Structure 1
């Protein structure tokens, strides 16, 4: 097995079994709500269910990036051990976490110039980011070198496709992740903007659909017409029945062999609220 440490963020919404199986390190962004700062990793981490309950009661959470000092401590620890690090970061267009890591690497390399610290902007979020981490972990387990793993992930990144339906766009606007113009359209009666992540890792509205059923149908169509991997991811907040129906529909297609279904973690859920559905996949062509 190739020897390098794989690190990612709590925004990747990695299932616990993946984290344990591949010995992954998760850097936790934080959520602040009603004057309390909550961690998103560790034993006492904030759960999405608890967060959504607070949001339904009127809470307006804000999220904070991982800071430079946290990355410096992690990178320095592995530099001292002589172990290479591969960090797959939440989209730099959606958080300053990637930049924190780059700054920390520069600090550590001043003291340990021989250290190997690879940082990749995944330009993805939730299970799109998580699936890239899984691919990197599987490559490492198969004995693939760090350089080859980086090349593999950089080939996949432009083809990660994300389609998201959100019941209330105001959370995305409040967090600065979506324009007020897109939210204004979403405020019209039963109009559901379909959101995607573009080639730069930014959230963009790509279609305006009347009703959730049409939104789901469009997500399915866009995903399946470009599908280049038999594994598809479904992420959701609150409405697990809708997510299970989406999973079942995907599995009816002969091109889909596996559907990984996970709830959106608290960082992403802070910006989507409840009732969100997303499909994430690897496409044939670049975004």
Structure 2
């Protein structure tokens, strides 16, 4: 039986596309002004609504996918006898991955023959989405679950993730960055460039004076040593800059295709308005 791919809403995949590709998306939750909002389904909060609230002083918090959600999803496919490959949001940035491990053990107690494979992608946003797309393409070409899992694990240390943020306040507020690291984000016209290191930690990489220089630096770093000619560009309410980044990437010899996507509400809640991100796959480990 063809295996099922599951990821979570931090992968920022378009839900209609994911449905067509037989990918399930489990949603993390956003709390804003005392109200909880889903990030998957017709009632989901959109990034535009969230970012506008943040511009007006809103301070959203996020909650991981809980054990019960995972148990329901895993049990459904265990009952069908269908193997599952779950691509999880970085364990360094969320407890979602650990919740999935607990749920898997619970389901395996009832369905010991079930196949539930879980990968800590150590990725987020378009990086996690990139891995989901690659996994779906492999499955469509006839790759088995084991073959697909091995391929994804091989890619993990070579996945490049760069974020150019307007400031570091939101990352500090959410505990994803220390106060000392966030100081650079308060300097006038300094645009911090960050990346996810080999452990999945968000680390300051450079301090650029001005957005244009920041974008130029991000492109230069993203195209170094690339293996796959496809790149992903993500953005928080600045589609024009995302299109500019896309053009700059396509002008290089290394990139021939660029997919653009808005950052979803979970990632947007942590990085804040006007963030840009680029994701590529390199030849060597980070």
TM-score, scaled relative to structure 2 = 0.98
Measured in 2, the distance between the counterparts of 1:17 and 1:286 equals 33
Partner of 2:268: 269
CA contact (8 A) 2:192 2:205 kept: yes
Long gaps (5+) in structure 1: none
CA contact (8 A) 1:18 1:134 kept: no
Measured in 2, the distance between the counterparts of 1:79 and 1:21 equals 21
Partner of 2:136: 137
Partner of 1:116: 115
Partner of 1:16: 15
Long gaps (5+) in structure 2: none
Q: Which runs of 4+ in 1 moved over 4 A?
A: none
Partner of 1:241: 240
CA offsets per residue over residues 43-91 of structure 1, 9 Å max, x none?
1111000111111111100000000011011111111111100000000
1:20 is displaced (CA, Å) by 2.6
Measured in 1, the distance between the counterparts of 2:24 and 2:64 equals 16
CA offsets per residue over residues 222-241 of structure 1, 9 Å max, x none?
11122111100000111111
CA contact (8 A) 1:232 1:279 kept: yes
Equivalent position SS for 1:144: coil
Partner of 1:259: 258
Measured in 1, the distance between the counterparts of 2:144 and 2:184 equals 47
1:17 is displaced (CA, Å) by 4.6
Partner of 1:61: 60
1:21 is displaced (CA, Å) by 2.4
Measured in 1, the distance between the counterparts of 2:109 and 2:5 equals 22
Number of residue pairs aligned between Structure 1 and Structure 2: 286
CA contact (8 A) 2:163 2:275 kept: yes
CA offsets per residue over residues 78-130 of structure 1, 9 Å max, x none?
11111100000000000000000000001111111111000000000001100
1:16 is displaced (CA, Å) by 3.5
Partner of 2:46: 47
Measured in 2, the distance between the counterparts of 1:42 and 1:18 equals 13
Equivalent position SS for 1:225: coil
1:258 is displaced (CA, Å) by 0.8
Measured in 2, the distance between the counterparts of 1:24 and 1:242 equals 29
Equivalent position SS for 1:194: strand
Task: Return 25-34 or 187-196, whichever deviates more.
Answer: 187-196
Matches within 5 A, 1:17-96: 17-96=16-95
Equivalent position SS for 1:274: coil
Measured in 2, the distance between the counterparts of 1:68 and 1:254 equals 45
CA contact (8 A) 1:182 1:193 kept: no
Equivalent position SS for 1:226: coil
1:135 is displaced (CA, Å) by 0.7
Measured in 2, the distance between the counterparts of 1:225 and 1:199 equals 16
1:251 is displaced (CA, Å) by 1.0
Task: Return 273-282 or 186-195, whichever deviates more.
Answer: 186-195
Measured in 1, the distance between the counterparts of 2:14 and 2:67 equals 26
1:168 is displaced (CA, Å) by 2.2
